[in-house]
Structure 1
């Protein structure tokens, strides 16, 4: 059972992905800013992302424990480190896997007031709270005779394709607003939340053995799209590929969603922005399998079982398993972005190129600001705050530095650089740079890159 906890810590430290894209937010020279804020300013007239390479993001971290906390030299023995980590981690700590890959992304300006964008991206999102009570039970056993809550077990996971179309409208020199419609094509969905039940023991019986009890157990696991892995008849690789291709391109479980956002200038130098992303849901009707396990067993009540050594087969009298195929609805994890910044060192070239107004707004090479991020999860919000500084070094070179405080770290320093060569643009962004010298200590690290063609009408 102790091996279970070691493997869980390793899995947590290796497969935790962040979801905040603070390095790309408010970077108006990049098309990807529109995916973080549909109402973001657009300073070009057309773009075409390199298929499959216009945005690739990878990040990893952990809100509760790092590999170094468990296996680092000088911290004590592995057992001592696990005991110390278990006492520190709570059932509010979590790990999550989240990544995006843009398959196609295009944009164009119409009548110099609206900027339209459309594309397809694939997204994976796995989120699980640390099952504190179950980990303690696996590591220490039930010698402490406490209640172990099955409600600690809570996780969601999905893989889907997103087809989207949006417009950013230049309302006037002070305000831009935007909206993006989304059509979700679900590939895989797994969720188990709102579980109930307690495992506990009464005082030792006459022969010194504690009596185990499972009270008011109700555990539900919903799945969609896992048929190829659960069915007895195995698919060939070709059949498996065709199945998931169909699911990815509107052949399976579908949903709809919307993004909204704005950019508002209080003055030429002070800017306020905000966005709400993924306000939507999916309805799962195809390849749905739901597994439910429920029941109640109290060793103090009269029963035909030996209270000290209940036989697992006889427990079937008290516990039941069901497999259902009822459709269900899953909601997307809604995300909120907001920022306020100040610009300085006027950019005379950029202001002169603002053809939308007779009296162009003053533009600035540098910005310093604050960004807030929040994401809805089953037990509440996951939040982050970022202080940033960006600078336009020339018409073709841009850089941004961020300092972020979030659930993973209080010392997350990030860097983005973007270069443009004629109409070809590329960017590279990395997070949590201070821990790259020893990734075992890092609770969060990320790398993002993208390639696209950007055009300005002469």
Structure 2
């Protein structure tokens, strides 16, 4: 159990941003806008993504520490920098990493009102709160924290890797309202989760007791659930080909399965103003295969080791103090491993936006799709959130969108979230004879030295749009 806690904590500390893609949301000439809102307004008849290149998305963030805080050149004492970073952070700080790789994507218009889209993508999503109490305990011990409780409930993290198969329908209800929905089928590859933990460790002074201090472990109940790891851990002799075949099998519904939906709408209040809303990944995973869970629980009270003098038992042998203490701990604080199916909920996302068009009016590329004019300038606000183990994580974005020409478009955005107060992003897309390419990146001010950045994200892709 201690090994697992240390390994997982280290992994989350070394990597770590929200899954929201504000630079691609409401971009009506990109098919990716349907991934953000299946009820978005779109201005094309069909699309085919370049396999494996239609969307590559990466994001990483840490709300409390940067790589520069740990690995800077100001002094050579890395341990001191780690200690200061731990002390400066709070248990509400968090780390996240998200990666999406679109394998296939296509869509076509069924009629003037309906657009069908489908695709496959692979996703990695990991999120962890910073367990400050346990980090202090492991890094400094408890000698400087007498009468202070170390809270085990701060241990909360989730991570998963999966392949997602989806199909969606975008429907223009009337000239003002567009709605849409998407069904998703999840094929799980890996999952690890630990939430809802309880317990505390505290040391108090007992000058009248048998020792100076007394230690309490109260209501300890820590559960780590995994799927997809046990078989690889136990198959040490597995070849690369066998491991690859196993992972591919899980990607094509050979592992754990789940289902989810996306729902969204766009409503034009008037010719210049519209509002949108969407919920994504409202779904569940059933972890039933290759599962292994680790449960650490119990209560214990001790005054520590109590040496006797002379240190000999009735057989004139040295008293095994540590062995006796370890047996007592193991008898009261249990460590169990078991294989029981479990269920996990996907981290659903909510997004709402308002957009205002102004400036020179443009006719749409295909006058049959939308009867209203478009504007060359758009200004908007977006509010997004992602559900995490201890509540929603929010982000707010303001953006200016400019259509340079019929084939080129640019968007400038400012995002306020837990990771940064100076997150400026830029998106550019261009189409050459049906071939479209786009590039979007956030936190551009951090590009000269990403080690100082609390977050960074980028999306790029290529596709054919008709």
Query: Quick check: TM above 0.5?
Result: yes
Q: Distance in 2 between matches of 1:108 and 1:390?
A: 26
Q: Distance in 2 between matches of 1:195 and 1:279?
A: 24
Query: What are the equivalent positions in structure 2 for 1:244-393 lying under 5 Å apart?
Result: 244-299=247-302, 311-350=325-364, 353-356=366-369, 360-393=371-404
The superposition leaves residues 3-46 of structure 1 with CA deviations (integer Å, 9 ceiling, x where unpaired) of xxx99998666511431211111111100000000001110001
Query: What are the equivalent positions in structure 2 for 1:141-152 lying under 5 Å apart?
Result: 141-143=141-143, 144-145=145-146, 146-152=148-154
Q: Distance in 2 between matches of 1:9 and 1:227?
A: 19
1:400 counterpart residue number? 411
Q: What is the DSSP-based 3-state SS (H/G/I as helix, E as strand, rest coil) of the residue aligned with 1:312?
A: helix
Query: What are the equivalent positions in structure 2 for 1:179-194 lying under 5 Å apart?
Result: 179-194=181-196
Q: Distance in 2 between matches of 1:256 and 1:329?
A: 12
Unaligned runs of at least 5 residues, structure 1 = 1-5
Residue 274 of structure 1, CA deviation? 0.9
In structure 2, the CA distance between the partners of 1:7 and 1:192, relative to structure 1 (3 Å rule), is: closer
Residue 152 of structure 1, CA deviation? 1.3
Residue 235 of structure 1, CA deviation? 1.7
Residue 74 of structure 1, CA deviation? 5.3
Residue 233 of structure 1, CA deviation? 5.1
Q: What is the DSSP-based 3-state SS (H/G/I as helix, E as strand, rest coil) of the residue aligned with 1:31?
A: coil
Residue 228 of structure 1, CA deviation? 2.8
In structure 2, the CA distance between the partners of 1:8 and 1:234, relative to structure 1 (3 Å rule), is: closer
2:459 counterpart residue number? 448
> Is the 8 Å Cα contact of residues 14 and 60 (structure 1) preserved in structure 2?
no
Q: Distance in 2 between matches of 1:315 and 1:80?
A: 32
Residue 73 of structure 1, CA deviation? 4.8
Q: Distance in 1 between matches of 2:448 and 2:377?
A: 30
1:34 counterpart residue number? 34
In structure 2, the CA distance between the partners of 1:402 and 1:13, relative to structure 1 (3 Å rule), is: farther
2:44 counterpart residue number? 44
> Is the 8 Å Cα contact of residues 58 and 99 (structure 1) preserved in structure 2?
yes
> Is the 8 Å Cα contact of residues 13 and 443 (structure 1) preserved in structure 2?
no
1:165 counterpart residue number? 167
Shifted more, 415-424 versus 201-210: the winner is 201-210
1:3 counterpart residue number? none
Residue 130 of structure 1, CA deviation? 0.4
Q: Distance in 1 between matches of 2:225 and 2:347?
A: 17
Unaligned runs of at least 5 residues, structure 2 = 1-5, 309-318
In structure 2, the CA distance between the partners of 1:154 and 1:7, relative to structure 1 (3 Å rule), is: closer
> Is the 8 Å Cα contact of residues 12 and 128 (structure 2) preserved in structure 1?
no
Q: Distance in 1 between matches of 2:9 and 2:454?
A: 12
1:114 counterpart residue number? 114
Q: Distance in 2 between matches of 1:36 and 1:151?
A: 33
Q: Distance in 2 between matches of 1:133 and 1:192?
A: 16
1:174 counterpart residue number? 176
Q: Distance in 2 between matches of 1:15 and 1:87?
A: 19
| Corresponding residue pairs, total | 446
Q: Distance in 1 between matches of 2:258 and 2:102?
A: 19
Q: Distance in 2 between matches of 1:27 and 1:268?
A: 17
Residue 346 of structure 1, CA deviation? 3.3
Q: Distance in 2 between matches of 1:55 and 1:204?
A: 62
Residue 267 of structure 1, CA deviation? 0.6
Q: Distance in 2 between matches of 1:50 and 1:15?
A: 29
Q: Distance in 2 between matches of 1:451 and 1:13?
A: 33
2:203 counterpart residue number? 201
Shifted more, 340-349 versus 366-375: the winner is 340-349
> Over the residues paired in the alignment, what is the CA RMSD in angstroms?
2.7
The superposition leaves residues 236-281 of structure 1 with CA deviations (integer Å, 9 ceiling, x where unpaired) of 2111111111111111211110000011110110010110000010
Q: Distance in 2 between matches of 1:15 and 1:65?
A: 11
Q: Distance in 2 between matches of 1:416 and 1:14?
A: 28
Q: Distance in 2 between matches of 1:362 and 1:294?
A: 64
